[in-house]
Amino acid sequence: MTATHTPRGIVLLAHGARDPLWARPFEAVLVHLRTLSPDTPIELAFLEFMTPGLLEAGARLAGCGEVVVVPLFLGAGGHVRKDIPALVAQLEAAHPTITFRLSTAVGEHPTLVAALATVALDLTRTS
């Protein structure tokens, strides 16, 4: 008997904006992540102003055993500390067969901090 594999899904969660062009960098992250991990179900969601929202994107990953919500935020302000955990709790209640896990904001990861510093330095040299 072959064991079935329940995939781990990812929801990339960005803030959202009224200007649709604002989402382009996050869409690029989605495309790149799908290239890096083609077998992983991945959705991009927005907290405000844009769709899909986190609840809709999480529902799209209903076949997953676990879904990791990755806030594409530079800092852990009120949205990351309060609003997003409340939405993740709503997802857990709506989809009890899925384990939802909220990661830290990407801006707190040392790799991103180093990359931002490198880009800032590069921009001062080319301007």
One pLDDT digit (tens) per residue for the chain, 127 residues:
444 557 999 999 999 999 999 999 999 999 999 999 999 999 999 999 999 999 999 999 999 999 999 999 998 888 889 999 999 999 999 999 999 999 999 999 999 999 999 999 999 997 5
Q: Give the number of C-alpha atoms closer than 13 A to the C-alpha of residue 5, restricted to the C-beta side.
A: 6
60 residue type, one letter: R
Q: What local confidence, expressed as pLDDT, does residue 70 receive?
A: 98
Query: Domains along the chain?
Result: 8-126 (3.40.50.1400)
What is the value of pTM for the model shown?
0.91
pLDDT score of 2: 44
Q: What is the DSSP letter of 38?
A: T
pLDDT for residue 4:
52
The pLDDT of residue 127 is 56
Q: What Å distances lie between residue 65 and 21, 89, 98, CA to CA?
A: 33, 16, 5
In the numeric block, which tokens belong to residue 88? 């993740």
Q: CB of 95 within 8 A of CB of 62?
A: yes
Q: What is the pLDDT of residue 75?
A: 86
Residue 96 · residue 59 · CB < 8 Å: no
Query: Which of 58, 45, 106 minimizes the C-alpha distance to 80?
Result: 106
